[in-house]
A and B are shown apart, each in its own frame.
Chain A
């Protein structure tokens, strides 16, 4: 369907964005650090112990009972989390129940969606779900891109989701927290049990601010469930079900080091760049994503650190076997973990006090008194597109389809140096353009683009340009890289869009940085 908007305004990066979305007023993006709301945080209702069982046992018979007791009804906002990634069995059940109860027009706010949630397309079609606010990966993104969702999608970063809940932009009626381990009081963690996935950080804001909080587990232990990553004092109901996740799918398929020689070269160049820029030095900190190339970058970091006897103070980010090995080897002192990608990570978090679990509040929330992302010396990120002004896109492809979420990407841009290793083109699709399809991050925060054919440094980073001036690495301008790609692939045509909007992209402060238009089918 898409939404026709007549009152679009141009924001500070020159993109046309709506001033109202799904009936809620919106603020257009004003620039980095410009928008500072003068208001108080959202205040959830006051609860009383008098209303809860004296023995602390809040367990009810089923998820359906919990949802009914929580007052599930038309138009409510329901939130879930992606700790079980593509093995999640909780979100689909919630909406199966909603359908069974005949509830309509729900707003679903997952911290991220996965291909396993394709099941929910039927509920978007029949009106059980009105729209999604959260990452729309794969099938759901495709569905939304063609304007099939009744409401407008809203995409937020992990930090932006915390911010929106904390600030009251996003008020939650019911949150359902799937946990690998819990007690009947509601204390919960992601560390133990068949669906162990590490931590429950993405559910923190929901537990603190939602009207009703339901904890679902397949591993109910006697009180106390320790450590309590989610505090039972926030929880209304607890439920035990057979299975909350499919373990082999919780361990995401993206957590293998790439075998592609081209990507390995890209990773090696990235690490070499960081070394020559003087970033890899004793006591430094870094964050590298879970994609194959990012993992390879971490591996090359380790190699350099070993050779030069360098230790990092901390590594932030999704943890996995490779990072854990570095911790155990003594190459890094602390892992500040936001999301655990494999069982080595889960085990390490449970056993090693230097493997610390964090949340979008500590790491990413822009409306806080600082956050960890800004303390990181270098972050390695991906992008689907970058433009000659260093603006980058992570949500849409060059054909206009919305296929990815933002994750922590926007939040990580506040690191001291942001490096994007990306191939110059993917199957003839150039990655560097005059203008990105969708702006997710403003160029002023993006420092270095590493491609297999050359490295472009943002002209703003005169210090990096100076440091690399005698380097053997192929330093080029971003314009040169763009032309090189076009020489090989040809100049790409622009995708055609309808006037209707299908989604908006929020910046970390809750303003709208860009909108996504309906793709012409």
Chain B
């Protein structure tokens, strides 16, 4: 063994809910653990026990482990030690803490994806409370927000997070690394009830096919029956051109997202608030998604301080046919939900249409009409979608029609 000292985790003044471990393998002297913890009085003993347990799990008998703890919860400490161990020892063994009951829920192909909150995969501090802001989805990011030399430790943090941190019903998403590197991420995710994988910089159906083969392999190994859903992210000119091919390659592809920072860079232009430069790409992607009957999801809005601009942005996005948007700050979630929600006059119109449809069906009429106007089936379908959305957002009650008829 040439390299006998390894480190993992984060330290520094601003670091919270994380820890930094230094592991030095020795030839003799047993296990020594040195701890400096912000919560030593309350959890010092528990931390030492955990350190001993992880080292024992990997059969390490002589080592000096230094734990610099800023209030990390056990699953983070364990991930950090495992990351250090794996730099020094060649092993496939994985150290697991409990997979909590609360995390054994599933997502469906058809569900709202208005908001998805990005969390950097190697920064535990934001993960504990991400779910309380009630985004539709939470993305643990292994790609751009993780430094190249931290990819491996981030995989372990993300894996442990999927097992042990409650997201309170949000769809459990991970953005893997760009193809083909992203293939290496899968074994840390697929066995741990990841609902959806975001596939960055996707440029062709073949990438998705290869990814799915690998996913199937892991699912078989772990006897997993449920599908892993996919949301490819289109971030290049080539990706845009291949949007429909990607959207329709597999029934597990349930949405396409667009990533505008990389896309505009690929075009050699600048991203502007007016977004004229990406108009073609966005409409092309919306069209590809609708053709493949999947959801079209917009890029993130990066000015986290300007909620009014965000609101405008979402309205424009919704107008183009997008059904969701990324968030990089929890305060964006509510604005995005409110802005994707149907507006009062939209709901009122939809009530009239759906009521006329029910009325016509009850009376055995083949044609739906409102006043003197005939209503086409797609209009009815859209109205039904609006009503269902309004009900699910709590904007109207499930018995809206009773009230509606009373007011007629």
Contacts and interface: CB of A to CB of B under 8 A. Distances in A.
Interface string A484-495: 000111101101
Nearest to A453: B132
Interface stretch (B43-51, B215-223, B337-345, B347-355): B43-51
Given A264-B331, A427-B71, A493 B45 contact: yes
A426 B41 CA distance: 14
B73 A492 contact: no
A493 B330 CA distance: 32
A276 to B, nearest CB: 15
A399 B41 contact: yes
A261 B42 contact: no
A488 B45 CA distance: 17
B42 A398 contact: yes
B133 interface: yes
A337 interface: no
A427 B44 contact: no
B129 A493 contact: no
A261 B41 CA distance: 28
A400 B41 CA distance: 9
Contacts of A399: 39-42
B132 A490 contact: no
A482 to B, nearest CB: 14
- Chain B CB within 10 A, most for which of A261, A399, A472, A495: A261
B156 interface: no
B17 interface: yes
Interface string B30-63: 0000000011111111100000000000000000
A282 interface: no
B43 A492 contact: yes
Contacts of A496: 41
Contacts of B39: 399, 427-429, 492
Contact of B73 (A265, A426, A489, A493): A489
Contacts of B17: 427-428
B74 interface: yes
Contacts of B166: 488
B331 A495 contact: no
A490 B41 contact: no
Contacts of B40: 399
B70 interface: yes
Contact of A488 (B41, B43, B44, B73): B73
Contacts of B44: 493
- Chain A CB within 10 A, most for which of B42, B70, B100: B42
Contacts of B70: 427
Interface residues of A, number: 22
A493 B132 contact: no
Contacts, number: 62
Given A398-B42, A427-B16, A492-B43, A261 B330 contact: yes
B43 A262 contact: no
B132 A488 contact: no
A264 B46 CA distance: 32
A399 B45 CA distance: 14
A452 interface: yes
Nearest to B329: A261
Contacts of B100: 487
Contacts of A472: 394
Contacts of A262: 129, 132, 330
B186 interface: no
A420 to B, nearest CB: 18
Interface in A388-434: 398-400, 426-429
B199 interface: no
B331 A261 contact: yes
A473 B28 CA distance: 57
B314 to A, nearest CB: 18
Given A261-B133, A262-B129, A490-B74, A429 B329 contact: no
B72 interface: yes
A264 B304 CA distance: 14
Contacts of A427: 16-17, 38-39, 70-71
Nearest to A430: B42
B129 A452 contact: yes
B41 A428 contact: no
A428 B43 contact: yes
A488 B128 contact: yes
Contacts of A495: 41-42
Given A427-B17, A427-B38, A429-B39, A452 B132 contact: yes
A384 to B, nearest CB: 13
- Chain B CB within 10 A, most for which of A426, A453, A488: A488
A304 B129 CA distance: 26
B73 A490 contact: yes
Contact of A493 (B43, B71, B72, B133): B43
B43 A490 contact: yes
Contacts of B331: 261, 264
A395 B88 CA distance: 46
Nearest to A401: B41
B128 A429 contact: no
A428 B132 contact: no
A492 B46 CA distance: 9
B54 to A, nearest CB: 15
Interface in A452-471: 452-453
Contacts of A488: 73, 128, 166
A464 B274 CA distance: 49
B93 to A, nearest CB: 24
A428 B43 CA distance: 9
- Chain A CB within 10 A, most for which of B39, B41, B43, B72: B41
Contacts of A492: 39, 42-43
A386 to B, nearest CB: 16
B29 to A, nearest CB: 28
Contacts of B71: 426-429
A241 B399 CA distance: 74
Interface string B70-83: 11111000000000
A142 to B, nearest CB: 14
A261 B44 CA distance: 29
Contacts of A452: 129, 132
A264 B74 CA distance: 27
A9 to B, nearest CB: 28
24 contacts: A261-B129, A261-B329, A261-B330, A261-B331, A262-B129, A399-B40, A426-B71, A427-B17, A427-B39, A428-B17, A428-B43, A428-B71, A429-B39, A429-B71, A452-B129, A487-B100, A488-B73, A488-B166, A490-B73, A493-B44, A493-B46, A495-B41, A495-B42, A496-B41
- Ranked nearest first, the 6 interchain pairs of A and B with the lowest CB-CB distance are A427-B71, A261-B330, A492-B42, A399-B41, A428-B71, A495-B41
Given A452-B129, A487-B100, 15 more contacts: A262-B132, A264-B331, A265-B133, A398-B42, A399-B39, A399-B41, A426-B71, A427-B38, A427-B71, A428-B17, A472-B394, A488-B166, A489-B43, A490-B43, A495-B42
